Chain A
Amino acid sequence: MLEIKNLVVNYGVITALQEISLSVPAGAIVTLIGANGAGKTTTLRAVSGLLKARTGEVIYEGRKITNLPPHELVKLGIAHVPEGRMVFANLTVLENLRMGAYLMKDRAAVNRELSYVFDVFPRLKEREKQIAGTLSGGEQQMLAIGRALMSKPKFLMLDEPSLGIAPLLVQKIFEKIVEINRDHKITVLLVEQNANLALDVSSYGYVLETGRIILADTSASLRANPQVKSAYLGGS
């Protein structure tokens, strides 16, 4: 579904990604793990057009999408839940969700997506009228994911959905991610520092270290890999 080939991204003179390649097959949950500063966020931002690739290619459903502006990619069915959630704190929960369906012209279709999102996250329904800035961190994460689902994506990128959220809620959010993938055939590229959880829910994983992919394997094998164990799974 998505293929990244030899992608290089720079911040000024700093090279953040050095020729990384990865692929996400349709229907799968693939994870990209790595320590803070490895370049995970940079990868997702380059795919969704928020950052320009210096060289390399991004191919989506057989089509080259390198450096298309973000709003064009949404039309193709790509949704990106950014790091730090970036909900519109000045808008209500409902308005945030409606923003997610910004390109949808059909009112009935928007309402259909809305009821689907409320099904997945009933909490959002309860808070519908509330200003998003007043939600808890976990609720904001649900809103960010719900908002991304509103565009009826085929491909969903999630940047550290567990960041700064209570462990119990993290568990729940990951269950939802699996549910979304399974029930709606949405392909997922999941970026995480929490490698334990990410490898649990995914079928394949890539390990990023200072801008390079150092390991790529099935999630089960990565779990068993001593190098991954010691560096990313809390030792032993």
Chain B
Amino acid sequence: MDWLQQLINGLAQGSIYALIALGYTMVYGVLRFINFAHSDVLMLGAFAAFFLAPVVGTILPPQSYLGAFIIVIVSAAICAAIGILIERLAYRPLRNRPKLTVLITAIGVSLLIEFTCQHNAVFGARTRPFPRLIPEHNFHLGNIVIANHDVLVPIVTAALLALLWLVVQRTKIGMAMRAVAFNPQAAALMGVNINRVISFTFGLGSALAAIAGILYAMRAPGIEPLMGIQPGLRAFIAAVLGGIGNLPGAALGGLLLGLLETFAGGIPGISNYRDGIAFAILIFILLFRPAGLLGEVKTEKV
């Protein structure tokens, strides 16, 4: 029955990667570059929750689902604002510059956030224990024990994926996102204010990253300013794996990576190589499907 435990772990881990990967892929979709600061937004989400938890705890009983919900929503809103601000200040002025310039700027923004947050006047470099946001509860299935937060992660993720799908497929702003992703100039000719769509995309991706950061922190030993790097890197791989720019691809890539990593980690002898495995999978798949699992090479009819 050990595999069931692994499966749930893998799903939880993969869900988190999926949520983060969506942000990478959405931004790539509209702007064609990798926002490396995305992994730091997830860290900021976890810290936002860290500081909000005691505040919410004074109003609501600690470790209540309602309290956790409020913390998550407020953290997501804060990070949405941060994401929008990063684009506004750092990327927008470089909109018409070569993509490499923007890419290097993104790395710069990432380092700036990480090192600023490590400063003692900000968060400090030490690892802090993350508060429990929801009541502890274990499910017993035969002789295996499943923690409620491990079950919660895939459920929350599934709900968010469904919500995102509705936004992208069924709303006007979602349609504009898809249009901008395909051809920003044509979208502008339709009356779309491209900057507004880009801001919306950053906000949405950053909110998802914040939620992912909190879910990640709930399962991690603690939080610190560099905590976003590892999951951020995996999520980036997941996004490329699924086909960068493709939303279902990002979700699929995240889940696959989480599951593969967890199962590989459970095999004695190779558990030390889980990072290597992630990259090996990526290289292997890209050899056969350069556009990623669900990515397709776009063709325009003449």
Complex Cα distance, B173 from A29, in Å, reads: 34
Binds B, one of A9-17, A91-99, A177-185, A187-195: A91-99
- Of the candidates B179, B181, B188, B301, which one forms a contact with A133 in the assembled complex, judged by CB atoms under 8 Å apart? B301
Asked if A89 and B172 make an inter-chain contact with CB atoms under 8 angstroms apart, the answer reads no
For B169, give the chain A residue with the smallest CB separation. Answer: A95
8 Å CB interface, B175-189 against A: 175-176, 178-179, 181-183, 185-189
B191 near A74 (CB under 8 angstroms)? yes
Min CB distance, B91 to chain A, in Å? 18
Question: Closest residue of chain B to A157, judged by CB?
Answer: B189
Q: Check A100 for interface membership: any CB of B closer than 8 A.
A: yes
* Nearest B residue (CB) for A86: B186
Q: Are B182 and A50 in contact (CB under 8 A)?
A: no
A-side contacts of B188, CB under 8 Å: 49-50, 69-71
Are B182 and A103 in contact, CB atoms less than 8 angstroms apart? no
Report yes or no: B190 in contact with A133, Cβ–Cβ below 8 A.
Answer: no
Q: Which residue of B lies closest to A95 (CB)?
A: B175
Q: Is the CB of B302 within 8 A of A151?
A: no
Say whether B301 contacts A91, CB under 8 Å: no
* Inter-chain contacts of B300 with A (CB < 8 A): 84, 89, 133
The answer for the CA separation of A71 and B183 in the assembled complex, in Å, is 14
* B192: contacting residue among A89, A102, A133, CB under 8 A: A102
Interface residues of A (CB under 8 A from B): 48-50, 69-71, 74-75, 79-80, 82, 84, 86-91, 95, 98-100, 102-103, 133, 135-137, 140, 147, 151, 164
Known: A69-B193, A88-B179, A90-B181. 9 other contacts (CB 8 A): A70-B185, A70-B188, A70-B191, A80-B189, A88-B183, A98-B175, A99-B176, A100-B190, A140-B301
The 6 closest A-B pairs by CB, nearest first: A74-B191, A86-B186, A70-B188, A103-B191, A102-B191, A99-B190
